[in-house]
Amino acid sequence: MRSKLVAGNWKMHLSATEGVALANAVVSALGESADLDVVVCPPYLAIPAVKESVRNTPVKVGAQDVFWMEQGAFTGKVSAKMLSNLCIDYCIVGHSETRGRFGKLEVPASTVSHFAETDETVNLKIKALLYHAITPILCVGETQEERDAGKTVSVIQTQLEGALAGIDPAEMYGIVIAYEPVWAIGTGLTCASDEADRVCGLIRTRIAEAGSQDVADNIRILYGGSVKPDNARDLFSRPEIDGGLVGGASLEANGFSAIVAAAK
Ligand code: 13P
């Protein structure tokens, strides 16, 4: 039986002080009897303060990205070893924004290449995180153009194959996958629950082929993309959807708490 997981990706929002206030509010709303995993993913600078504020509570902390080398002349990068030193539990990898694939292009096209993560770098990041016992939250998903061209399944299959290349099936138990259709991120266009469930089921089938049926039965697959308090319960009630990766709605304590409550 897979337990549900709800993760808030704060993206490039909130100072350390604001993050601590939000994390405290989430902890209060959650209460003591958490029968699911709740994760907040602040920007790097807020991680130490937020981590401290949720100590001895059920709320876990994740990072939004990582670099795969241990240390060295890599200006601006943060390694899995550094996250491990902070006892970080989760880390998002392969988000469509770090891949440079935006649902609605709010950044000038000239900056997209600054993101440009590839399936190969996603793979290196996952290996670095697993080495340090940090759970990767691997994001996969198609753009609107790819969906319209009927390429949803092949795009996701390519992303999964690249991200999981060379990873021992036994290690796949330590990974969470998030299906995040790019066109649903930050757009208010939620993927219909039946369709999200169908794609999550296809991802599970691919995991069975890449790992084993037991890995597929146990790995958690989240849905992300305009998850809100009013659609969360329907999404999370689907058999293949084990929770959510929430962006905008995770920035407000009441809304995020309502989404968490919907997963209970
Ligand atoms: P929104 O919930 O704002 O659509 O963002 C989803 C997301 O990108 C989570 O990683």
pLDDT per position as a tens digit, 186-226: 888 899 999 999 999 999 999 999 999 999 999 999 999 99
Residue type, 73: A
* Distance separating the N- and C-terminal Cα atoms of the chain: 14
- 95 belongs to the catalytic site: yes
DSSP string, 53-120: HTTTSSEEEEES--BSSSSSS-TT--BHHHHHHTT--EEEES-TTTTT--SS--S-GGGGGGT---HH
For the CA of 225, the nearest atom of ligand 1: 4
33 pLDDT band, cuts 50/70/90, is low
* Least confident residue range of 10-19, 42-51, 102-111: 102-111
Kindly report the average pLDDT of the chain as a whole number: 95
For residue 35, pLDDT over 90 is answered with no
Residue of 117, 142, 146, 180 marked catalytic:
180
Domain 58-246 fold is TIM Barrel (3.20.20)
DSSP string, 167-186: --HHHHTT-EEEE--GGGTT
pLDDT for the residue numbered 144:
94
pLDDT digits (tens, 9 = 90+) for 49-99: 999 999 999 999 999 999 999 999 999 999 999 999 999 999 999 999 999
By alpha-carbon position, which residue is closest to atom 9 of ligand 1?
Answer: 247
105 pLDDT band, cuts 50/70/90, is low
For residue 30, pLDDT over 80 is answered with yes
- 114 belongs to the catalytic site: no
Residue of 5, 6, 10, 11 to test ligand 1 pocket, by largest number of atoms within 8 Å of CB: 11
By alpha-carbon position, which residue is closest to atom 5 of ligand 1?
Answer: 247
